[in-house]
Structure 1
Amino acid sequence: MYQILLPLHGLFRWLVLIFLIIAVFRAYRGRFKKIPFLSIDHTIRIITVKVVQIQFCIGIVLYTISPLVRYFLHNFNEAVHLREIRFFGMEHITMMSIAVAVITIGSDKVSKATDDQQKYKVMAIWFTVGLLLILTSIPWSFSPLTSRPNFRMF
């Protein structure tokens, strides 16, 4: 299962990023152009949150079966000093959990806002924060800290 979920998690991140970027773009566009909050904006917000939450669920399952995480949890005193193992055992899951919470809370606040401009403003702020948290916590191929391929084959 690990050999299937790991590439799936890596590929699904691109969906997360695409939908988040679209949602953030539409939020800022709607806010600055003062256009009504359209049904497409509502749909994009909902799809974005669902894609983020699905990715998070895949990540949680991966966390429970990952050999790196298993090593981290069983050898904490030693593993916490190893950058790559600490990243996957502690930092990645913590930051992504916070990002998912931020995006989910932001989406809920958008649904409760009554004014269209307020909806765009709330979505722009919360989704931008979530996107930044995600961007800083992905193990990019170019990262000097913890590098992983941008695309994994199944």
Structure 2
Amino acid sequence: MYQILLPLHSLVRWLVVVSLLFAIFRAYRGKFRKQDFSAFDNTLMLIAVKILQVQFCIGVILYFISPIVRYFLNNFKTGVHLREIRFFGMEHITMMTIAVFIISIASEKVSKTQDARQKYRIMALWFTIGLIVILSSIPWSFSPLTSRPAFRPF
């Protein structure tokens, strides 16, 4: 299962990034053009949030079956001093959980808000913050701290 979920998690991250970027673009566009919050924008927001939540579920499953995390949890005193082990055992899951909460709560606030311009403002601000947290916590292939390939083969 690990050999299937890891490449899937790697692939879905691109859907998360693209869907959030598009939702953020539409939110800033609607905010600055002072447009009404459209059904398309609402659907786009919900799709981005659902993709993110699916990715998070895959990530949580991976967390509990990962050999790296297993090593971290069984050898905490050693693992916390090893950059890559600590990243996957503690930092990545913590930051991604925070990002999912930020974006999910923002989505709920947008759904409950009546004012269209306020919806765009909430979505633009909080989705941007969530995306920054996500981007800072992905093990990019170019990262000098913890590096993983941009695409993992199945």
TM-score, L = length of structure 2? 0.99
Structure 1 position 15 matched with structure 2 position 15: yes
Q: Secondary structure at the match of 1:44?
A: helix
Find the residue that maps to 1:20 and give its secondary structure.
Answer: helix
Q: How does 1:32-47 map to 2 (within 5 A)?
A: 32-47=32-47
Corresponding residue number in structure 2 for 1:54: 54
Match of 2:25 in 1: 25
**Could you tell me how far 1:80 is from its partner in structure 2?**
0.1
What is the CA–CA distance in structure 2 between the aligned matches of 1:79 and 1:63, rounded to whole Å?
A: 15
Residue of structure 1 equivalent to 2:138:
138
Amino acid aligned to 2:134? I
**Percent of paired sites with the same residue:** 68
Q: CA deviation at 1:68?
A: 0.1
Distance 1:42 1:114 in 2: 13
Rounded to whole Å, the distance in 1 between the matches of 2:11 and 2:98 is: 21
Q: Cα offset for 1:88?
A: 0.1
Per the alignment, in what secondary structure is the counterpart of residue 88 of structure 1?
A: helix
The structural deviation recorded for 1:81 is: 0.2
Q: 2-side partners of 1:105 and 1:36: how far apart?
A: 21
Other structure's SS at 2:148 match: coil
Note the residue ranges of structure 1 that are not aligned, 5 or more in a row: none
Q: Secondary structure at the match of 2:106?
A: helix
Q: Which residue of 1 aligns with 2:63?
A: 63
The equivalent of 1:151 in structure 2 is 151
Structure 1 residue 56, shift from structure 2 partner: 0.1
Letter in 1 for 2:81: H
Give distance in 1, aligned partners of 2:78 and 2:17: 34
Query: CA offset at residue 133 of structure 1?
Result: 0.3
Shift, 1:131, TM fit: 0.3
Q: Deviations over 1:104-151 (max 9, x none)?
A: 000000001111100000000110011000000000000000000000
Map of 2:72 onto structure 1: 72
Give unmatched runs, 5+ long, in structure 2.
none
Q: How does 1:104-143 map to 2 (within 5 A)?
A: 104-143=104-143
Q: Which whole-Å CA distance do the structure 2 matches of 1:119 and 1:97 have between them?
A: 23
Could you report, residue by residue, the CA deviation over 1:15-41 in whole angstroms, capped at 9, with x for unpaired residues?
000100000000000000011110000
Counterparts of 1:20 and 1:4, CA distance in 2: 24
Give the superposition deviation at 1:95. 0.1
C-alpha displacement of 1:66: 0.1
RMSD, aligned CA: 0.3
- How far did residue 74 of structure 1 move? 0.2
